[in-house]
Amino acid sequence: MKIKLIAQIAMALLMARFKQTIVAAFGVTFSITMFITLLSFMGGLNDLLDNLILNRTPHIRLYNEVSPSSIQPISKSEAYPDAYHFIAHVKPKNELPEIRNSEAIIKALREDNNIRGVAPKNTVPIFYHVGEISLTGILDGIDVDAENRLFTFKDYVVDGNSLDLKNTPNSIILGIGAAKKLLVQVGDNIQITTSNGTQFTLKVVGFFQSGMDELDKIQSYVTLATIQKILGKPASYITDIQIKLYDITKAPELTKKYNKLFETDAIDIQTANAQFETGSSVRTLISYAVGITLLIVAGFGIYNILNMMIYEKMDSIAILKATGFSGKDVNAIFITIALTIGLVGGIVGLIFGFGLSAIIGQIPFNTASLPTVKTYPINYNTKFYLIGAVFSLITTYMAGYFQSKKASKIDPVDIIRGK
């Protein structure tokens, strides 16, 4: 009843100053529209840049670093138990960085509830040969299905089909940079040599483009079975186990656990790519700062219109107080006016913001290094809309607060005596 009455009076005062109200509300609309658009666009851009790396990077990688034995013979001597040992003559053994017991490890990982998927991989340094040219490169043996599922491998195959790698024996998907240098087409054969001299002929079934030029000049893919054949190793030979988690934030903790449990080296994505998070958070911070500045400016608009309304409606405020409305009631009336402007302006702003970001999302954006991106990236995160709504209400409330306080303090005797 009382709320209804206060709302009714607030609306009547609003309607009496309809044009100014619309202008003030439009200020809020404009700032919320810009706030949403800016954050959606920045968010989209951040996702794009992050995904460039993060999509292709496992959350945890298990591998075996080639390193010298940590127990050198001298430390077994009882003569110098606490002394510093200068002599370290046992060098790393001539063996490939195989993860021992890989089949058991993969089996155990697949049963872990934290893990979304496991993709085993072999990485081998090679030379590509076509005619007289030979280039250094890196050849990865992959499980095509697991790579597609976890690392959207197929999105990066720009010519040919990722599945051809699985279906064609002795086939290779060549990095697009390497392919250009080697002057090969899909369907051609190329020769490769491993570091210990084994030669092998592979059929090119596709090109791979990651978006990072340096990588595309050296990186190529074959299946696990093919690489094991090239190296003459059994099917259990694995150099890398890539893990994707459901929750990326658990990576550092699980990395430590696997490191102990499986006695392999392990690295988490946060350690491997620390710089990316910093970049995104700075960009996000700037967007928020600009958005909130816009909102504060809109707040001044509301502050102004309330100031004017109170000045004009002194008489009305005086008579309301004389006939039994308390200071609190008057306060509530002007707060209601402010919040109405904020709410209406804010809702329209959210809709416009959605519209504007959707329009930007339609603008073509083509870049050679990002084959999967066709239009400007937009992140339609509901979080932005929530924050926009909350901030529009907070700023309008703040703008209304001081003015309403002023209105509630008006002494009716002063006004009535003045007449």
Residue 371 binding other proteins, by CB under 8 A: no
Contacts of 152 (CB under 8 A, 6+ apart): 55
Of 81 and 324, the one with the shorter C-beta distance to other proteins is 324
Identify the burial level of 111 via C-beta atoms within 10 angstroms of its C-beta, where 0-12 means exposed, 13-18 middle and 19 or more buried. exposed
Please name the amino acid found at residue 241.
I
Cβ neighbours of 133 (radius 10 Å): 11
Of 89 and 417, the one with the shorter C-beta distance to other proteins is 417
Nearest distance from C-beta of residue 334 to other proteins, angstroms = 14
Nearest distance from C-beta of residue 332 to other proteins, angstroms = 12
The CA distance from 137 to 385, in Å, is: 47
List the interface residues with other proteins, window 287-316 (CB under 8 A). 315-316
Of 98 and 329, the one with the shorter C-beta distance to other proteins is 329
Return phi, psi of residue 183, to 5°.
55, 45
Q: Binding residues for other proteins, how many (CB under 8 A)?
A: 28
For helices 274-312 and 327-360, the axis angle rounded to 10 degrees is 140
Of 20 and 161, the one with the shorter C-beta distance to other proteins is 20
Residue 32 and residue 385 in contact, taking contact as beta carbons nearer than 8 Å: no
**Which span (9-17, 145-153, 161-169, 205-213) binds other proteins, by CB under 8 A?**
9-17
Residue 323 binding other proteins, by CB under 8 A: yes
Candidate residues 88, 90, 368, 413; the one interacting with other proteins per rule CB under 8 A: 413
**Which span (5-13, 98-106, 161-169, 276-284) binds other proteins, by CB under 8 A?**
5-13
Nearest distance from C-beta of residue 245 to other proteins, angstroms = 59
Per DSSP, the three-state class of 360 is helix
Of 213 and 315, the one with the shorter C-beta distance to other proteins is 315
Of 250 and 406, the one with the shorter C-beta distance to other proteins is 406
Residue 104 binding other proteins, by CB under 8 A: no
**Which span (41-49, 227-235, 293-301, 409-417) binds other proteins, by CB under 8 A?**
409-417
Return phi, psi of residue 411, to 5°.
-95, 115
Site string for other proteins, 187-206 (x = CB under 8 A): --------------------
CA torsion 317-321-324-325 (nearest 10°) is: 60
List the interface residues with other proteins, window 43-82 (CB under 8 A). none
**Which span (13-21, 137-145, 270-278, 336-344) binds other proteins, by CB under 8 A?**
13-21
Residue 31 and residue 295 in contact, taking contact as beta carbons nearer than 8 Å: yes
Of 83 and 416, the one with the shorter C-beta distance to other proteins is 416
Integer angstrom CA distances of residue 141 from 95, 125, 128, 341: 18, 11, 15, 62
Write out the E strands in 224-335: 240-245, 265-268
Residue 210 and residue 216 in contact, taking contact as beta carbons nearer than 8 Å: yes
